[in-house]
Amino acid sequence: MLHKLELRHINKSFISPGSDTFVIDDLSLHVKEGEFVSIIGPSGSGKSTVFHMIGGLIRPDHGNIILDGKEITGERGHISYMPQQHSLLPWRTVLDNTILALEVAGVTSKKQAREQAKQWLARVGLAGYESAYPHVLSGGMQQRVGFLRALLSPQEVMCLDEPFGALDALTRMDMQRWLLGIWEQSRRSVLFVTHSIEEALFLSDRIYVFSDKPTRVLEEIEVSFERPRGESILQHREFMRLRAHIYNLMKKEVMS
Amino acid sequence: MAVVLLLSGWELAVYLLHIEQWFLPSPSGVIREAYVSWPRLWLHTSATIEKCLLGLAAGILAGMVIGIMMHWWKPVKLAFSPLLILSQNVPSIVLAPLFFVWFGYGLFPKILIIALVCFFPIAVSIMTGLAETDRNLLNYMRMIGAKKRQIFFKLELPFSLPYLFSGLKISATYSVMGAVVAEWLGSSVGLGYYMTLSSKGYRNDRVFAAVFIIIALSYILYLGIGLLQKLIVRWQSSSSKGEA
């Protein structure tokens, strides 16, 4: 099966006067059509750098980024993106924020985009907030808007960079269930960065465990729980085994 | 409140110390004089308002164009930065007579003086606003593939609006001063001219009447821009209310 998104043998160093940092060492990974793939790794393991390369903000020194069989290395605008900070424009209403990515891509008229967004807002529990400004929303709701904005983007691959990292534990779990519910209906190809082992296991089809700098893939883990998933899998023996396994991998990495 | 106190203190001092009106008029004397000579005063005031608004508009336009160009093209910024500072170092009192020589005594040189005083705070404030655009938002816009033009209109320009308004408030008050100075140095109408004339005739009550009007004009312009800011930069005023 053709890979939706593929990173082949990526290398990257940041060169600054006095100190060169070797950030990424021969990194390869892929996301299949309709697959939910997570990247988990210690802080500062260059996960965001990987995203910036996929987004075309940074060029790798070596290696290729391939989308639908076409090389996109160093090109912008091929992915839909959701950052850790909600990054909503404070002068735009919730509705106008959700259509921002559509507007930038310029594929649909504003009116069409708004119609589409309105229906979605209701589906994701944000009915009645269309004309509110982002600052009146809670952190969780802001991230919902951010996710919806990414979901409505015309680009097929969604890159989510620790979207729930700044939320409190309870909201975070709530958001994970919410995200899973919507994703299981839409089945977009997702690349998801997280710090949380449980979050990665709960959401993903596959997990890449990253090493500390220079970043390599330590291990690729298949997560084969049935979908749609419920919270019951959190008690599953296989879930606990995988969690302990990833935990040990990461612990070794941090200790070494 | 402080203003009321100041005025009553002044009034009382003039009354108790038996100060002559031509030396230092009391506030009530100033207001009486303003009332009596209102038709003539209004003629001069309206001339000043006209210059002021035209000059301010020209200054805003020039300031925005220069600020945006300097943000957009680095070479322009490098080339123009020293000139920008230079333009503020030459006192307008010196420039005004030169302008009158070069451009005559019409409206144009006066507008030019006001615009020259006004454009600077606008250019600096909009440049600061554009340059300080939130890094996270900028990163996001780049990640989703926004073009330079889209980033400018959808992100940087709205982001710089609150900054622009701070500059506008300064420029608005400068514009009245600029107009008065321009009239002072070469005009036959306007508050600046009226003040020179009254001062030469030892009519200090009229001088103060003009001063009061100038203060009122500056203040009204300042308030007007504050109001405009509240209307346009709604996301900011309401967020600060939320925090309070």
pLDDT in tens, A146-182: 999 999 998 989 999 999 888 888 889 989 999 998 8
Q: Which of A93, A103, A135 to mutate to test binding with chain B, by most B CBs within 10 Å of its CB? A: A135
The per-residue pLDDT for A1 is 59
Model confidence at B236: pLDDT above 80: no
Chain B residue with Cα closest to A80 = B144
pTM: 0.84
DSSP codes joined into one string, chain A = --EEEEEEEEEEEEEETTEEEEEEEEEEEEEETT-EEEEE--TTSSHHHHHHHHTTSS--SEEEEEETTEE-TT--SSSEEE-SS----TTS-HHHHHTHHHHHHT-S-HHHHHHHHHHHHHHTT-TT-TTS-GGGS-HHHHHHHHHHHHHHSS-SEEEEESTTTTS-HHHHHHHHHHHHHHHHHH--EEEEEES-HHHHHHH-SEEEEE-SSSB-EEEEEE----SS--GGGGG-HHHHHHHHHHHHHHHHHHH-
Q: Beta partners for A8?
A: A64
Contact B144 A77 (CB under 8 A): yes
Flag the least confident range among A47-56, B82-91, B177-186: B82-91
Chain B residue with Cα closest to A100 = B154
Model confidence at A127: pLDDT above 60: yes
Which residues in chain B have their CB less than 8 angstroms from residue A80's CB? 144
Smallest CA–CA distance, residue B223 to chain A, in Å, is 23
Smallest CA–CA distance, residue A173 to chain B, in Å, is 25
Whether B155 and chain A come into contact, CB under 8 Å, resolves to: yes
Contact B235 A77 (CB under 8 A): no
User: Over the stretch B27-85, which tens digit does the pLDDT of each residue have?
Assistant: 888 888 888 888 999 999 999 999 999 999 999 999 999 999 999 988 888 888 888 88
B122 in Cβ contact with B171 (< 8 Å): yes
Instruction: Report CA-CA distances (Å) from A94 to A7, A81, A210, B50.
Output: 34, 17, 35, 42
Smallest CA–CA distance, residue B125 to chain A, in Å, is 19
Which residues in chain A have their CB less than 8 angstroms from residue B145's CB? 55-56, 76-78, 104-105
Contact B136 A133 (CB under 8 A): no
B124 in Cβ contact with B87 (< 8 Å): no
Interface of A to B at Cβ within 8 Å reads 51-52, 55-57, 76-81, 83, 85, 87, 89-91, 100-101, 103-105, 133, 135-136, 153, 159
Model confidence at B240: pLDDT above 50: no
Token pair listed for B50: 């006209």
Q: Which of A49, A91, A162 to mutate to test binding with chain B, by most B CBs within 10 Å of its CB? A: A91
Contact B158 A89 (CB under 8 A): yes
ipTM of the complex: 0.89
A80 in Cβ contact with A153 (< 8 Å): yes
Instruction: Report CA-CA distances (Å) from A12 to A5, A15, A60, B23.
Output: 19, 10, 5, 79
Smallest CA–CA distance, residue B238 to chain A, in Å, is 9
Contact B143 A76 (CB under 8 A): yes
Model confidence at B244: pLDDT above 70: no
The per-residue pLDDT for B241 is 39
Contact B140 A87 (CB under 8 A): yes
Whether B234 and chain A come into contact, CB under 8 Å, resolves to: yes
Contact A80 B155 (CB under 8 A): no
The per-residue pLDDT for A244 is 94
Model confidence at B242: pLDDT above 80: no
The per-residue pLDDT for B221 is 94
Q: Beta partners for A20?
A: A15
CB pairs under 8 A between A and B: 67
Smallest CA–CA distance, residue B139 to chain A, in Å, is 8
Which residues in chain B have their CB less than 8 angstroms from residue A153's CB? 144
Model confidence at B99: pLDDT above 50: yes
The per-residue pLDDT for B239 is 45
- A36-40/A189-194 β-pairing: parallel
Instruction: Check residue B203 and give left, alpha or beta (phi > 0: left; psi -120 to 50: alpha).
Output: beta
User: Over the stretch A201-229, which tens digit does the pLDDT of each residue have?
Assistant: 999 999 999 998 889 999 999 998 988 88
Contact A133 B154 (CB under 8 A): no
In this structure, chain A runs to a length of: 256
Which residues in chain A have their CB less than 8 angstroms from residue B158's CB? 89, 91
- A70-71/A62-67 β-pairing: antiparallel
Which residues in chain B have their CB less than 8 angstroms from residue A100's CB? 144, 154
Of A55, A135, A136, the CB nearest to B143: A55
Contact A83 B158 (CB under 8 A): no
Contact A105 B145 (CB under 8 A): yes
Contact A135 B235 (CB under 8 A): yes
Greatest Cα-to-Cα distance within chain B, rounded to the nearest angstrom: 76
Contact B143 A51 (CB under 8 A): yes
Whether B226 and chain A come into contact, CB under 8 Å, resolves to: no
Model confidence at B238: pLDDT above 50: no
